[in-house]
């Protein structure tokens, strides 16, 4: 059973930074893409950023220029560096891995940005 283990969430003031990590228990090259979604209370889960097995990245417009997704193939880990955080970034962040047409999800990590 594939597992995605997230870490790095927490409470930060507006303008601050956090780095989320997502370690996968399989070889990262078995994925077609990995990335992050987030879900705020009462809202749908939206894509934040993703990175393909070829290293192509995509970002939601709301985080472009502030967030950076990267991967360390040797550690089977994907990172989300979040800078210039805003209160509207507050949400539960979920890591995902795409294996062909099947998606595995992490358990989620809370990010709270205070104003």
pLDDT for 30 beyond 90 = no
Going by C-beta distance under 8 Å and a sequence separation of 6 or more, which residues neighbour residue 25?
2, 3, 4, 5, 76
Q: Which pLDDT belongs to residue 28? A: 83
Q: β-strands 57-59, 77-82: how paired?
A: unpaired
pLDDT for 89 beyond 90 = yes
pLDDT category at 27 given cuts 50, 70, 90 is confident
What are the percentages of helix, strand and coil residues in the chain, rounded to 5? Answer: 10, 55, 35
pLDDT for 36 beyond 90 = yes
Q: Which pLDDT belongs to residue 90? A: 98
CA distances from 18 to 25, 53, 80, 110 (A): 23, 24, 8, 11
Q: How many CB atoms lie within 10 A of CB 59?
A: 18
pLDDT for 26 beyond 90 = no
Q: Which pLDDT belongs to residue 12? A: 98
Percentage above 90 pLDDT, the chain:
88
Going by C-beta distance under 8 Å and a sequence separation of 6 or more, which residues neighbour residue 50?
33, 34, 35, 36, 57, 58, 69
- φ, ψ at 32 (rounded to 5°): -85, -30
pLDDT for 52 beyond 90 = yes
């Amino acid at each position: 059973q594939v597992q995605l283990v997230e870490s790095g969430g927490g409470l930060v003031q507006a303008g601050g930074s956090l780095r989320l990590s997502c370690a996968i228990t399989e070889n990262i090259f078995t994925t077609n893409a990995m990335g992050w979604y987030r879900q705020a209370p009462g809202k749908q889960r939206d894509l934040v950023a993703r990175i393909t097995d070829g290293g192509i990245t995509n970002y939601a417009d709301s985080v472009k220029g502030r967030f950076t997704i990267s991967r360390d193939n040797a550690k089977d880990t994907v990172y989300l560096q979040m800078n210039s955080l805003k209160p509207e970034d507050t949400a539960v962040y979920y890591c995902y891995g795409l294996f062909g047409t099947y998606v595995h999800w992490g358990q989620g990590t809370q990010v709270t940005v205070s104003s």
